[in-house]
Structure 1
């Protein structure tokens, strides 16, 4: 029996020994719920205190550096005399982190079911990343956490989606780019790394929603799967090999809320 065109399956991501490169925030957990707003507020306040600027200027620097360099930290270290390690520690320390985290049910089982190696690749600092993974009870499932401290070279701090940084970190981790699968919520990172031959999965289920005039949240308007995305999913459960790919039309295509922070 012929399969109707509207119900055709898209091919699954193939690969003999995949290496999963997971982003952290808005990928493994719902950072837009409480963590991103707190990080944004913390970065803005840090910039106000360190650079002695007003609120509007601090917000302009925070968002502008993220858009220009991929991370607020990179712009701050290149243009201002401040301590990057202190900045990362201050804006990513949350005494009540556990209460701020939201995630998919069964996230540990979903990640554990994936074949191959698993690495976290995040523009967040390692201490914060590992704290989140512990709260999710999945830290042991990842062989390595490549955080922003590990992305720097002798001259500069670097972050996703820097090409030279990725090549170096992948060499250090003994990962061939052709075996890598990037699971990420930020489209600019997916677009840049697809050019290197990495397979890409865009996860949209944690992206923020645009409210109607009545305050009811709705999905951001979209035009379907970008050409540089191999698969578009809403949930981690769709990554399991053998499951049917989600429908790609009508998915969210807005930039991740992470564009307003350094991750």
Structure 2
């Protein structure tokens, strides 16, 4: 079976442009076998052939293998803290912010940032880039349609201000949707843009090997302006942040040294 995974990882890199070797193998292999069996295949070579020939199976694989569990203001207290730090560290120095929501999934995270900026700095022209490796999830993000569970952390008044509720769904209003630009991007394989004041990447890096984590954090560092902030997930403390060139300004929030 180990040889099968080696074949599948090489095949995925060549045909899907995904570097599966960067992920923690135990968790990754379990997920691959789960989705393979759900699709009705007994071995990875048959499954790879099916992914190559059937677009629906391909989309199901990509949706499952890339982690897409998210919601607006996930870990709400952490977002409240982030808002205070944006006001103190960024808006006091920069009039216009360039923000990157990396591995944005269905868009709840970058839209949460757009709502924050609309509330505390509406008059300024901020730019939010949201990226993900999954085309289908990006299409859903652009639609801006969410379930109750996905917006449950949004304050009641903000749900009225920023969403239209119809038929049990929450439709994000256009003036917030247009504040976010979505683009496909692979954190492992693709080059990173520069000049960001804030990078938000949460609950994704945890699935990578330590060597890959450090490479990504170093690239984030290079992409930030001096004094820029990196906001990570609730289970993603960066223990070697000083070695990477960051200062820790609060829990799960790091600043590029000036």
TM range (shorter): 0.3 to 0.5
Q: Which has the higher contact order (CA 8 A, sep 6+)?
A: 1
Relative to its length, the structure with more helix (as a share) is: 2
Relative to its length, the structure with more strand (as a share) is: 2
TM-score, length basis structure 1 = 0.36
TM-score, length basis structure 2 = 0.37
